[in-house]
Structure 1
């Protein structure tokens, strides 16, 4: 089973790991693309005004330019600890038990606009690059879509839970034939109508991922996931379009 998460725009500072080592990251077939994109981003950061315009950053976020300039010299920490934001606050990786962290490292992937697919334990620096960043050619989609899809193809027989946003799905679609399920989080109003959530969508996803990781079962298929959901109080179902629905 793989659980695929989006990254977050916000990230923790610092870290106690050595500077970025591309060979220490999961999915080594992406190494060349990672190196090339990191060079492009760090080079662009030498012109702060240009980088801020490309990433649509205001003055309060000017510090992000320095993060990008020092990509290869800054300290690192595990990806699941680096990312913050609503989803990652609910997941709360730093408080996981050693067994749960080990499960996350094996089964959790984070789709980064800078690094492609990351393992949860991969050591990365703080950086700023979103899925809609306006870089020179090749675009992020051209850089990543085919390569990331090939990485997913290597897991064709596994259950994949896709918790990414649509913009990150475009940077690496999961190939047809893979038992993958795009997750939406909904709530049911007093009128009985289900409605998708925004802010609480991310919180619901983070809480679900934490529960799965703490449970520690490698679900073979969607039925096994549903069985666990019924036993643990997580209301999971399939929508008519084939998407996985979590009701909170």
Structure 2
């Protein structure tokens, strides 16, 4: 089983100062050239505040984040699963996770980064500022990442691929055969509506529960079986797969 997550705009600062970025040590080392090209382009647009504001879509409060891209080679690193914060990653409580949970993440979770392409949950990365729709001059992320990322993911993925990425990040590494979950809320009359902001929380809770239960899921039948055992409502629909948010209240995680 492979779980694909999006990154987060917000990132935890700090890390291991003695362990700086090593592109060759990241998962999918065959992407080192593509990663180096993005880093070079990101460093270029980040060198001046005026260009960084437009390229990275920075506001007055976040404009200083451009400096992260100038220090990628020397900045301290953290495992990706700890680096990212926000509504999807907070339910994971990665800094407080035990070794068994961390091993599950390392074995099963891949994050689709705009800067580094697909990376493993345990890969050590610095803080940076780049989104799937950032503008890097002649280098277009929408043209740069999809082919190499898709091939790298296809070589790794064995069995079920559970795609929890947002649309913009799915486009950077397409996996056509993946199970893509739509997070929905069900009202008292049984009517369903797709969620926007809160869908990230549900995906975080789902990933946390998969890890903490040591889920061993090889196909869709196994996913449905695991979900039933843990009170999670996952259902096949006419146009895809639904995850009912209410079935992933914190008490279940």
TM range (shorter): over 0.9
Q: How many residues align?
A: 245
Give the secondary structure class of the aligned counterpart of 2:12: coil
Per the normalisation by structure 1, the TM-score is 0.95
Give the secondary structure class of the aligned counterpart of 1:154: helix
Are 2:208 and 1:210 equivalent residues in the alignment? yes
Does the 8 A contact of 2:112 with 2:169 survive in 1?
A: yes
* Deviation of 1:152 (Å): 2.0
* Deviation of 1:69 (Å): 1.1
Per the normalisation by structure 2, the TM-score is 0.93
**12-21 or 107-116: bigger deviation:** 12-21
Q: Distance in 1 between matches of 2:58 and 2:157?
A: 38
Q: Distance in 2 between matches of 1:71 and 1:172?
A: 23
Match of 1:59 in 2: 60
Match of 1:137 in 2: 138
Are 2:98 and 1:97 equivalent residues in the alignment? yes
Q: Distance in 2 between matches of 1:235 and 1:192?
A: 13
Does the 8 A contact of 1:3 with 1:107 survive in 2?
A: yes
Does the 8 A contact of 1:238 with 1:245 survive in 2?
A: no
* Deviation of 1:225 (Å): 1.4
Match of 1:108 in 2: 109
Structure 1 residues 185 and 116: alpha-carbon distance in aligned structure 2, compared to 1, 3 A threshold:
same
Where in structure 1 do 4 or more consecutive aligned residues deviate above 4 Å? none
**154-163 or 120-129: bigger deviation:** 154-163
Give the secondary structure class of the aligned counterpart of 2:243: strand
Structure 1's unaligned 5+ residue stretches are none
Q: Distance in 2 between matches of 1:86 and 1:156?
A: 26
* Deviation of 1:156 (Å): 5.2
Q: Distance in 1 between matches of 2:16 and 2:245?
A: 38
Q: Distance in 1 between matches of 2:36 and 2:111?
A: 18
Give the secondary structure class of the aligned counterpart of 1:60: coil
Does the 8 A contact of 1:42 with 1:69 survive in 2?
A: yes
* Deviation of 1:164 (Å): 0.4
Match of 2:244 in 1: 246
Structure 2's unaligned 5+ residue stretches are 247-253
